[in-house]
Amino acid sequence: MTLAGATPATDDLWSPVLASIQAGALDCMQANLAMLADRRHPGAHLALGAYLRFKLTIEPDGRPAVAAALDDRLTEAQALLGMRVTARREGLDGTGLRDLAAEAPGHAPLYVVADAYSMSWVPYAGQRHLDHSFLLLRADSRQALIADGYQNNTEWGQAQPGVWLIPATDLDAAACGGQDGGATVLELDAGSPPRLDPDVVLAGNATAMAAARPDIERYAAAARAAVSDPTALARLVLDVWLLSRSRQLHAAWLASVGDRPDGTAAAEQLAQAWLRLSTLAFVAERRARRGQAVSPAIADQVDELLRADIELARQLAPAQAAPSATAVAPPVTPAATGRGDPRAVVTDELGAITGLNVASLEPGTELRSLPGFSSFRLVDLIERAEQRLGVELDPDDLTADSLRTISSLCDLFAAATAATPELAS
Tell me which H or E stretch contains 146.
strand 143-148
Helix (H, G, I), strand (E, B) or coil at 118: helix
Rounded Cα gap, residues 47 and 45, in angstroms: 5
Residue 1 confidence (pLDDT) above 70: no
Phi, psi (degrees; rounded to nearest 5) at 161: -60, 140
pLDDT value for 2: 64
pLDDT digits (tens, 9 = 90+) for 185-227: 999 998 889 999 999 999 999 999 999 999 999 999 999 999 9
Residue 260 confidence (pLDDT) above 90: no
More confident residue, 421 or 337: 421
Instruction: Please check whether residue 284 is in contact with residue 233, taking contact to mean a CB–CB distance below 8 angstroms.
Output: yes
Residue type, 291: G
- Nearest Cα neighbor of 89 from 186, 172, 189, 190 is 186
Work out the percent of the chain whose per-residue pLDDT is above 90. Answer: 62
Q: Considering the domain 7-189, what is its CATH architecture?
A: Alpha-Beta Complex (3.90)
Rounded Cα gap, residues 55 and 46, in angstroms: 20
Positive or negative: CA dihedral 20, 26, 29, 34 = negative
* Number of Cβ atoms within 10 Å of the Cβ of 154: 15
Instruction: Please check whether residue 401 is in contact with residue 384, taking contact to mean a CB–CB distance below 8 angstroms.
Output: no
Instruction: Please check whether residue 77 is in contact with residue 37, taking contact to mean a CB–CB distance below 8 angstroms.
Output: yes
Query: CA separation (Å) from 215 to 69, 222, 330?
Result: 18, 11, 34
- Nearest Cα neighbor of 323 from 253, 262, 370, 261 is 262
pLDDT value for 177: 62
Residue 425 confidence (pLDDT) above 50: no
Per-residue pLDDT averaged across 114-137, rounded? Answer: 94
- Nearest Cα neighbor of 420 from 381, 387, 392 is 392
For the chain, count helices (H), then strands (E). 13, 11
pLDDT digits (tens, 9 = 90+) for 298-342: 999 999 999 999 999 999 998 743 333 332 333 333 333 345 688
Every domain of the chain and the residues it spans: 7-189, 198-316, 342-419
Residue 405 is classified by DSSP as: B
**Which CATH superfamily includes the segment(s) 342-419?**
ACP-like (1.10.1200.10)
Instruction: Please check whether residue 165 is in contact with residue 7, taking contact to mean a CB–CB distance below 8 angstroms.
Output: yes
Calculate Rg over the CA atoms of the chain.
23
Per-residue pLDDT averaged across 280-284, rounded? Answer: 91
- Nearest Cα neighbor of 262 from 306, 204, 312 is 312
